[in-house]
A and B are shown apart, each in its own frame.
Chain A
Amino acid sequence: MLNKVAALGQATLNSIAGAGAALIMLTRALVGKPQLRKSWPLLMQQMYSVGVMSLIIIVVSGLFIGMVLGLQGYTILVDFGAEQSLGPMVALSLLRELGPVVTALLFAGRAGSALTAEIGLMKATEQLSSLEMMAVDPLRRVIAPRFWAGLYSMPILAAVFSAVGIYGGYLVGVRWLGVDDGAFWSVMQANVEWGHDIMNGIIKSVVFAFVVTWIALHKGFNCTPTSVGISKATTSTVVTASLAVLGLDFVLTALMFG
């Protein structure tokens, strides 16, 4: 009995210590004298592998999610003779929810797992220790550019996702099912607002970017440096990041649109 209580206490202490370690890692990586000349090429490289390489999966899934929204929305709305509301339905669900959230989930799977595995392998092969041997801070050299790249890339990816999704809804709704072209856009424009809908969606995706990248980097940096440890850390990144995104999304939606 006492052993179980002790195990619970141990688990609690471990999770608190983990959160503390993650915060310390992030502050030590980000706070300090900025060295633009050195960090700019590193950032570019990471923007390429984190952002540009994720573009294809984002565009394809955005297009298909928009098309499905158009198709499903049409079959329901046409019963009420309200198929002209298809535009705002597709646009609002993409801008407010699906754009930021699905992008964050895909990003966690596509880029977050790669970040964890990369850093975990660097740790396992003692590349991080050798950087320290050469008096290069691995936090500034390895963690910081990856963090900034994730933070910059995800809002861009979310905007691309929403834009492509709206176009997908347009393709299915207007081109295939015959919703009126003018009404599709004008009713959408009457219902979507720059500040309320688009900006809040971008704020959401920035928050998700912060959380997902942070979790991925922390899991990689603190993993057990074995093959089992890396595989566990990669799985844990995807699970934790996805749960964190979904939970945070509810809180953010309640704050912004509640």
Chain B
Amino acid sequence: MESRNTQLAVGLFVIIGVLALLFLGLQAANTNVATAGETYRLYAKFDNIGGLKERSPVKVGGVVVGRVSKITLDGDYYEPLVEMVISKQYNEFSDTTSVSILTSGLLGEQYIGLNPGFIDDTVQMLEDGDRIYDTKSALVLEDLIGQFLFSQGND
């Protein structure tokens, strides 16, 4: 009978372990569907990506729809090319969509903001591998101060 009690205790032990893992997975980690299920890729070229990193979030109006998957330098002029992985759930972006690199809070992480464009008969929907051409680069503090000083000098 002692072996049965041992087995019961070990069974409970395993169940506690699975429960702990479930707690971690469901309560502590993000259960966001973005990049968990099926995804497609979009590309965007920027002049300056600032502090954007791989795995930075891609948001539409503050809602995470995907993540930055790769950042490379592209073309003859070595412009940063950002590859984004977007959840298939959100696959109705038109090719008039624009992207900008934004900062969350004053000192926060940088992320990509997608602004869905208008839709009419002439525009096409973005598909896997498409490029978004309307891009706004990251705000670089030094450039901003430089512009400010320059405009002060003109007065």
Q: Which residues of A contact B (CB under 8 A)?
A: 41, 44-45, 47-48, 51-52, 55, 91, 95, 153, 155-157, 159-160, 162-164, 166, 185, 188-194, 196-198
Contacts and interface: CB of A to CB of B under 8 A. Distances in A.
Contacts of A55: 13, 16
Given A166-B28, A198-B25, 4 more contacts: A48-B13, A166-B24, A185-B27, A198-B29
> Top 6 nearest A-B pairs by Cβ distance?
A156-B17, A163-B20, A159-B20, A160-B20, A194-B29, A47-B10
A52 B20 contact: no
A163 B23 contact: yes
A29 B28 CA distance: 39
B10 A192 contact: no
B89 to A, nearest CB: 18
A159 B17 contact: yes
A254 B10 CA distance: 34
Contacts of B25: 194, 198
B9 interface: yes
B28 to A, nearest CB: 5
A159 B21 contact: yes
A192 B27 CA distance: 10
B119 interface: no
Contact of A162 (B24, B30, B31, B55): B24
Interface in B38-58: 55
B10 A48 contact: yes
Interface of B, secondary structure class, is: helix
B30 A160 contact: no
B19 to A, nearest CB: 8
Contacts of B32: 189
B17 A192 contact: no
A52 B13 contact: yes
Contacts of A48: 6, 9-10, 13
Nearest to A156: B17
Nearest to B105: A82
B3 interface: yes
Contacts of A44: 3, 6-7, 10
Contact of A91 (B9, B12, B28, B31): B28
Given A197-B29, A198-B25, A198-B29, A160 B10 contact: no
A62 B19 CA distance: 16
Nearest to B57: A190
A108 B25 CA distance: 27
